[in-house]
Structure 1
């Protein structure tokens, strides 16, 4: 049944995605970007002017990041890594590390502190351990970093850039990997958080300026804030929809928490109970400051 949501959380605009994901705040243009995975759409919304634009990439899209030097996105789509021109919508493919796996697609991705783009894959039928996590270098070489992943999801890097946090959703766990910023090498991961199944499954993730992790809960009606050093649950934000997919900080001072959600997988009755499913939400001036997203170094 629907749960009582935080009254300060509001819907950003009158648009609902089938599977919204991957929110990224563009600090240069003061707009929020996100995707609708299954509809193959990139959305951009400028809050001050209330302008909403959509780019159709004509295939499923799993994630994106901003490029540091020009008006392009780097993205992970069904057919691999690509650039997307933000003005024309033109898609320029880079590489497809899973060309031999047509039943896989890319999912969540994010740039690391050195400007490399990381994105993982999953089976279209959610077959266990069919995916991998890849890293796209600035020279456009692709390296596989983790294999036997089921649903590659949330990524974040610690404030000192020495730890990479990672979520493989069905495990219900958040992993911490030693991370070398200079080389992109990761060490052996360890479990730092386990989400109880009754709270939903950990999905997308971001980090704030205090080094705390914010995790979206698929099927859990909430976003939670955790201390990755002590595994302490510090805060939870209730939403009016079950499938919460990801979150990021935006706004002028990076104090607005943007939250993506989905209506995929909901029955007709559930859709009636959750009329806002698939919306982009925001908690304005949430009392915590985020950190700017890293751009792709190209």
Structure 2
């Protein structure tokens, strides 16, 4: 069977999908829309919380703490309390601020490892960003980064492989293959990192694809975010689904586990 793509919702800049296996629901952000979004596939329920303090680029539930999330706002990591339905958070508390004297630095994306440590990267127009490891402290692990989205080791080079577009967010399946969002190329690709070769691709009705998460009870549903930001009026007419959250089934792939939540 061919992959089946459904449009769930639309954002300006959808990013950072995270599957919460405990609650069987998906979170993602709308960066320029300044919101954290929640989607419950079993019921179709969709809610959002506005973040007036600035652009938000990632969201991560806190393990074992109901209604608490770590989000990034500009240069800060904040602890948000939200009931999952209200239009505003109950509270926002700054946990860490990075590089306050560098105006070109903003948090971009992040994921938690199996120990609950958050690996969060900053982005910049110049390669002066960093990758941080966050627990109850924050530690710089890598520097001189342009945009943090994956690891430091090169496993697939878009330039030398002839792959068009730019690599954006990614995830790993149960066979240890990478699924990579292709910004500017209307697709996600599956890469075998052991040989550095593309082995599959899925086309999507939007050119700027941003990130990927596995979800569903069996972790065989893919949730893919996209953006309409930067498209011309003509391009938006050609791509009415740009900015959508896509739900994809029949991919033949399965995730390794639910998204790991943040643990102090």
Following superposition, the deviation at residue 129 of structure 1 comes to 0.8
Map 1:1-298 → 2, pairs under 5 A: 8-12=4-8, 15-58=9-52, 59-71=54-66, 72-87=68-83, 89=89, 90-123=91-124, 127-137=125-135, 139=136, 141-153=137-149, 155=150, 166=151, 175-176=152-153, 191-196=154-159, 199-290=164-255, 291-298=257-264
- Local SS of the residue matching 2:259: coil
Output the CA distance in 2 between the equivalents of 1:49 and 1:135.
35
TM-score, normalisation: structure 2? 0.91
Following superposition, the deviation at residue 108 of structure 1 comes to 0.9
Output the CA distance in 2 between the equivalents of 1:82 and 1:285.
37
Contact 2:15–2:226 (CA<8 Å) still a contact in 1? yes
What CA deviation, in whole Å up to 9, does each residue of 1:22-52 have, x standing for no partner? 0011111111110011222100011111111
Distance 1:269 1:134, change over 3 A: same
Structure 1 portions without partners, runs of 5+? 1-5, 156-165, 167-174, 177-190
Structure 2 portions without partners, runs of 5+? none
- Local SS of the residue matching 1:193: coil
Detail structure 1 runs of 4+ shifted over 6 Å in the superposition: none
What CA deviation, in whole Å up to 9, does each residue of 1:82-108 have, x standing for no partner? 111121612111010121123321101
Contact 2:123–2:130 (CA<8 Å) still a contact in 1? yes
Output the CA distance in 2 between the equivalents of 1:111 and 1:7.
28
Contact 2:133–2:139 (CA<8 Å) still a contact in 1? yes
Output the CA distance in 1 between the equivalents of 2:23 and 2:106.
30
TM-score, normalisation: structure 1? 0.81
Following superposition, the deviation at residue 216 of structure 1 comes to 0.2
Contact 2:3–2:248 (CA<8 Å) still a contact in 1? no
* RMSD, aligned CA: 1.5
- Local SS of the residue matching 1:23: strand
- Local SS of the residue matching 2:33: coil
